Structure 1
Amino acid sequence: MKAGTALVMGLLALGAHASETLTPEKAVADIKTQELQRNLWNFNKIARENGGNRAFGLPGYDASADYILERAEKRFATTVNVHKQYFNHTFTLVRDISVTGPEGEKVDVIALIYNPATPGDDGITAPLIDTPVDDARGSMCFEDQWAGIDATNKLALVKRGTCAIADKLKLAAAHGAAGVILYHNAPGAIPGATLGAANIGLLPPVGTISLAVGEAWSARLAAGEELVVRLYVDAVYESRETYNIIAETKEGDPNNVIILGAHLDSVQAGAGINDDGSGSSALLEILGSFKKYKGFKNKVRFIWWGAEESGLIGSLYYTRTLSEEERDKIRFYFNYDMIGSINPKFDVYQGDNAGDAYGADLLEEYLLEHGFPAQRAPFGSGSDYVGFIQIGVPSSGLHTGTTPYDPCYHLACDNIDNISWEALTINTKAAARAAAIFANDLSGVPPRTKTTPAKRSVQAIRREFERWATIAEESDHAQSCAHGKQEVV
């Protein structure tokens, strides 16, 4: 075929699509595993070429954003409006961390996000003091559990789990601890967590080690040995600018908006291909489908959130800065964070808002019809639905699980080999179908719930969002201490 003929045929094909109406069936058919794979291959490559991650404040995030923008802003420009929403947040990077054991041995250790630095150049060398284990309530989560413990100028040995790590660290500091050696509450690899920017200056330095080493040291302390351990942390903190990427269809009523969201950043430990390259890829393919069609009634907005792994920062900034009028226009929010876990469960979020079920029903019925064991799950506190729940927007979403469903959760091995392509494809199809149905018809979906007085102060609203962003790790995306996610603690 001659080049000129090929160009004409291509334009005719594009025109044919542009005159078609959007249907759920067409949206589902447009989702291809190969294209989802292509996106994640590129995210993986971006991480590999940028220090191993796509994290907030680092080059991998900007490169990931460029990948999204090259499609949304350039290829889809005739049917999609795109912009960046900028904000500043405290960036942290642990440049070095080490734990040296009582025999001078090097111990495997990970740093937490917003991990405090040790004072001086030599770190902290001090005796270990053991603390009681309470897996039911959470070890050292409450003041009464510290009764009789004087950790002054010592390193407190504390087991992870149940409550926010930051809560444990604050109590350790209150009882004099110079630092904390936190040992994991499960065998195997140690996932990361965030202590939250709100806790800068309030916590002692911490090094997170394995369950096996922690239990061995606890047993030796119980036998009466004195163990002297060294903790060293070199960390930097500074404000850095970052952004959300917002793309919305030119089609549809701007007073009736459906939002699909996924976070674009990874943790610093790895490429974040499941968490949350999976959701980011899904949004890009659904947008690529919708941009081909005309005539749908309601506007669809796609948002790739920034700095989620630092405490839901991008999504909380977005919801906090919306006017009441703009909040009222948002009819439903769908959250897609970790939807391709390699050993997936199929959770469909539904909360207490009566409108949540309208979206949850659509997602669940599609998965069940295709033989996937979908089940309803409550919202936690660790992903980008938090801000929308707080302003009363009906919400739902999909989640395929952190550890053990994703054994590489927040680890370097969350790469291109850490994806269930079957789960990612079926979840993206379910998401595309639900969005297409709502794009055409929002019948019965109630408006957002306004459960608090409209005349709250800006300070009160900010405190409310900060409270949510630092709630103790919960069930879903917040497991060992948690992005509820990563762990946002």
Structure 2
Amino acid sequence: MNKVSNENQSKSVIIPSRWIYVLFGLIIFFTMTIIALTAAILGIVINRLDSKNTSSIINNQSILLSDQIKIEDLIKHLEQLQLIADRTDNRTRAIATRGFNDTLDYITNQLEQNTNFKIQHWYFTVRNHIVQETPQLQSKINGFIINHTYLTDFTHILFSAGANFDEFVRIVVIPNLGCEDNDWINVSKVDSVALVKRGNCSFSQKCALADKYQVKGLFIYNDGISSDGFNPIQGVRNNLNTTIPAYFLSYNLGMQLVNTVNNVSVIININVSDANGIENICADTQTGDPTKTIVIGAHSDGVSAGSGINDNGSGTVAILALAINLARLFQTSSLNYSTYQYRVRFCWWGAEELGLLGSRHHVEQASLPTTIILGERLQD
């Protein structure tokens, strides 16, 4: 039996251990489904492409790639990812953690030991990702200074710039939810922190307009309407090239600032740094036409709250098992498994949980001017 305490309840919640096995069984089921679908799609793509080329030999395999995958191998990989997460302070495999880096090392080692594929590593930077200390927010209302509580009254908007105000700065309320240029043009914004209510457009659109009109900082406050409309929302993202600090406020704090806007000023203090060396891994088959590539990919990172065994450990190990077994079939002459005329590329992308950053970097930076992508299978 596993006991989970809840600070908001007077009694502990008991979770029967059988549910742990049910959950693990579901993860294995989903992983096997991923493998079956991916292997089937790979075969369909290759056979359809081959059938269009009358000069090529159609690859009629008597051995199916999906049949080579063993449940015990998947369990072994998933258990290793769980152990990797358990070794970290927060039991996570999110980017910029030991858990993420160890996950990439595990993938690389498995590929090196079990395949002859060409392994490539690409690195990129996530700007303003690491918050160094607890962000601070002070307000001065009618001369009284209030220290607001992080995660209760406000939270940091991801990718926002750092700031250390050395004096109180006035607040300006942006009308009409701040989704259009006209909402910003006629407001005096010089040396001010803009206060905008949630709604009508994306958070990133509000942030982009705040950047455009060069305010000193941005507060977006909750709307008090939706089911999540009162507390500050964690995980809201700014644009990657932002130059200003931005906080998401609770509805109550936002309304307090709106109602006292003529007599309120604030201090923002937040220290952030870039997450450097975030890694993508790709492994290419040695055979196959490099100008015709089939890509099979999944993301290797998880969220910060948990080990990420389902999302996306299942996808990570699914394509790892596919890669290892495809390499074995290609290299075992006695199996008579014909190599494909197309190159197959297996990829593990980082920072998916922050907005598909790794896969976007791969598309933007992979220098393959002569490559034609004939098929894709992306697994989350």
SS in 2 for 1:218: helix
Contact 2:95 2:278 in 1 (8 A): yes
Flag the 1:140–1:332 CA change in 2: closer, same or farther, 3 A.
Answer: same
Alignment correspondent of 2:162: 117
Question: Are the aligned partners of 1:22 and 1:295 in contact in 2 as well (CA < 8 Å)?
Answer: no
Match of residue 130 from structure 1: 173
Structure 1 length normalisation: TM-score? 0.51
TM, length-normalised to structure 2: 0.63
- Alpha carbon RMSD of aligned pairs, Å? 3.6
Q: Does the CA contact (< 8 Å) of 1:130 and 1:218 recur in 2?
A: no
Work out the CA distance in 2 between the residues paired with 1:25 and 1:270: 30
Question: Is residue 2:233 matched to residue 1:190?
Answer: yes
Q: Does 1:98 align with 2:136?
A: yes
Aligned-partner residue type, residue 273 of structure 2: V
Residues 17-416 of structure 1 mapped to structure 2, 5 A cutoff: 21-23=62-64, 26=67, 30=69, 32=71, 36=74, 39-52=77-90, 53-74=92-113, 76-77=114-115, 80-89=116-125, 91-92=127-128, 93-96=130-133, 97-100=135-138, 103-108=146-151, 109-119=154-164, 125-132=168-175, 139-160=177-198, 163-175=201-213, 177-184=215-222, 187=228, 190-197=233-240, 199=241, 202-209=242-249, 213-215=250-252, 217-218=254-255, 221-222=258-259, 226-237=263-274, 240-250=276-286, 252=288, 254-266=290-302, 271-293=307-329, 294-297=337-340, 298-308=342-352, 312-319=356-363, 320-325=365-370, 327-328=371-372, 330-337=373-380
Larger radius of gyration: 2
Structure 1 residue aligned with 2:32: none
Identity of counterpart residues, as a percentage? 24
| Deviation readout 1:42-89 (Å, 9 max, x if unpaired) | 434434433534344443332111111232221x23xx4141323343
Q: Deviations over 1:148-192 (max 9, x none)?
A: 333433332223466454442342355563211223565167342
Letter in 1 for 2:377: F
Q: Could you list the per-position Cα deviations for residues 222-261 of structure 1 after superposition, in whole angstroms to 9, with x for gaps in the alignment?
A: 48784444432111247x3343212234565555432111
> Does the aligned pair in 2 maintain the 1:72–1:82 contact within 8 Å?
no
Aligned length: 296
How far did 1:333 drift? 1.4
The change in CA–CA distance for 1:107 and 1:87 in structure 2 (over 3 A counts) is: closer
| Inter-CA distance 260–147: structure 2 relative to 1 (3 Å threshold) | same
1:42–1:223: structure 2 CA closer, same or farther, 3 Å change rule? same
Q: Distance in 1 between matches of 2:93 and 2:102?
A: 8
* Contact 2:126/2:278 (8 A) holds in 1: no
